[in-house]
Amino acid sequence: MKLLIMLFLFWTIYRQRKRQRKFWVRHIYQNRLKQGDYHNLIAEMRLMDDEEAHVRYLRVTKETFDVLCRLVAPYLQKRRSYTNKRPHISPGEQLAMTLRFLASGDSQTSISYSFRVGKASVCHIIYKTCCVLWKVLHKKYLPFPSTEDEWKKISHQFWMLWQFPNCLGAIDGKHVRIQAPNNSGSMFFNYKGTFSIVLMAICDAHYRFIMVDIGEGGKESDGGVFSNCTFGQRLMEQSLQLPLPNALPGTSVVAPYVFVGDEAFPLRPDLLRPFPGSNLSEKQSVFNYRLSRARRLIENSFGILASRFRIYRQPIHSSPAKVVAYVKATIVLHNYLRLHESHVYCPPCFTDREDNEGNIINGEWRDNHSSLGLERIGRTGSNRGSWEADAVRETYCNYFVSEEGSLPWQSHHVHRTTYN
């Protein structure tokens, strides 16, 4: 009994000596409605109709911001406008903080001072808003094809725009660099000596992502990356509802539908990679060139993403769970803006393009691109494919040098590249 009384006295003294808060709200945050960026700078941009400044600051136009605000407001709106101490932060202000954080790559402390909101509140708001953006956008703007007709529509776009037949998408993966998580061991430590999570993605012929797999630990730097991601598992299980093999355009030669990737991916009957080495025949060099034209789409997609959302310019200082939410938000925003604001978000000169002789003209995203936060993944599978996979690649190889499948400039381009 005496022991319990002593413990109670010690607990009472401890509570009395516990550090008290100096103030409920810092003085610099009390002027949020007058000096915060949302109520001052952004309001002035909208009032003066300065569309260029608005896009540079938030990556979206005023009209798109209003549409997004209406979508997320039901999930971010508080029941009461005011508390006993200060007004609630509106959904528009929460969305503006999140877009600025993703677009600029500034620290959450910097966002806190700019918007005159406490850092803890900013961390919670950004994470919650990213989750809400994914919730309201991903079903419509990141729908994974589930029928043969949907896959064939993507294949038709690849043929019409990039002259690669029976192509269902370009695949690639990146390491998204993060700060070292606490007590994580080697789970997120990759072979390049940094900490990261893996972002595996497939895009269509219009630089829009059709599938993403996010969150695998960076330690999976070879075969585990592809085999452990959702797409790799479903591809190996043949559960993607892919169309049956179809005749190549202009011929009666039947070939399966395929995805295209670089040398990091394994060669499969449904996944093509280039011929390795430098001592290649002209036919093999043509195949590598044609494959590269289609594969550049995913490279450009990642380039646009990192150029517009500069959170990828440096390691992201948040927990892995929050980083996954940030990445998912940028992916759906990328697809949304590619569809509704392509002229502002990604004008024609912003991506790689070709002239009439097949010469590549680099897109403007390469001029201001720094990929410190996005790194290439390592080898994701065996370098040697099965005989069936070799036969499929040989079928496409023969088609690209045939009269029906060749391009006027491909031989000149291959010879010039080989000579250089």
- Neighbouring C-beta atoms of residue 369, cutoff 10 Å: 16
Residue-level pLDDT at 249: 94
Domain limits for position 256:
148-419
Query: Mean of the pLDDT values across residues 70-80?
Result: 86
Query: Mean of the pLDDT values across residues 361-389?
Result: 74
pLDDT over threshold 90, residue 358: no
Q: Are residues 46 and 192 in the same domain?
A: no
Q: Are residues 208 and 327 in the same domain?
A: yes
- Sign of the Cα torsion 359, 360, 364, 369 reads negative
Residue-level pLDDT at 417: 60
Q: Are residues 89 and 163 in the same domain?
A: no
Kindly calculate the radius of gyration of the chain based on its CA atoms and give it in whole angstroms.
26
Residue-level pLDDT at 73: 95
Least confident of 298-312, 343-357, 365-379: 365-379
Over residues 211-265, the pLDDT tens digits come to 999 977 777 654 567 878 888 888 888 888 999 999 999 999 999 999 999 888 8
Report yes or no on 279 lying in a domain: yes
pLDDT over threshold 60, residue 361: yes
pLDDT over threshold 50, residue 50: yes
In 355-416, DSSP assigns E strands to: 360-361, 374-376
Residue-level pLDDT at 47: 93
Residue-level pLDDT at 364: 87
Residue 198 · residue 225 · CB < 8 Å? yes
Query: Mean of the pLDDT values across residues 257-281?
Result: 91
Instruction: State what percent of residues in the chain have pLDDT above 70.
Output: 89
Residue-level pLDDT at 383: 58
Report yes or no on 293 lying in a domain: yes
Give CA–CA dist 228/377, Å, rounded. Answer: 14
Question: 146 pLDDT band (50/70/90 cuts)?
Answer: confident
pLDDT over threshold 80, residue 27: no
Residue-level pLDDT at 355: 81
pLDDT over threshold 80, residue 418: no
Give pTM, 2 decimals.
0.89
Query: Of 97, 113, 140, which residue constitutes the final position of a domain?
Result: 140
Query: Of 140, 159, 184, which residue constitutes the final position of a domain?
Result: 140
Report which secondary-structure segment, H or E, holds 209.
strand 209-217
Q: Are residues 316 and 178 in the same domain?
A: yes
Residue 386 · residue 236 · CB < 8 Å? no
Q: Are residues 313 and 415 in the same domain?
A: yes
Residue 365 · residue 300 · CB < 8 Å? yes
Question: 420 pLDDT band (50/70/90 cuts)?
Answer: very low
Q: Are residues 225 and 133 in the same domain?
A: no
**Using alpha carbons only, what angle is made at residue 157 by residues 151 and 160, rounded to the nearest 5 degrees?**
140
Question: 419 pLDDT band (50/70/90 cuts)?
Answer: very low
The total domain count for the chain is 2
Q: Are residues 249 and 370 in the same domain?
A: yes
With tokens 């409920």, the residue in question is 24
Give CA–CA dist 33/36, Å, rounded. Answer: 6
C-alpha distances in Å from residue 247, one per residue of 217, 242, 395: 40, 15, 11
DSSP string spanning 233-254? HHHHHT-S-PPPPEEPTTS--E
Residue-level pLDDT at 22: 56
pLDDT over threshold 80, residue 183: no
Q: Are residues 163 and 121 in the same domain?
A: no
Closest CA to 166 of 205, 206, 212: 205
Q: Are residues 127 and 153 in the same domain?
A: no
Query: Of 90, 119, 140, which residue constitutes the final position of a domain?
Result: 140
Query: Mean of the pLDDT values across residues 364-389?
Result: 72
Q: Are residues 373 and 285 in the same domain?
A: yes
Report yes or no on 382 lying in a domain: yes
Query: Mean of the pLDDT values across residues 146-155?
Result: 94
Query: Mean of the pLDDT values across residues 176-180?
Result: 91
Type of residue found at 166: N
pLDDT over threshold 60, residue 102: yes
- Sign of the Cα torsion 378, 384, 385, 386 reads negative
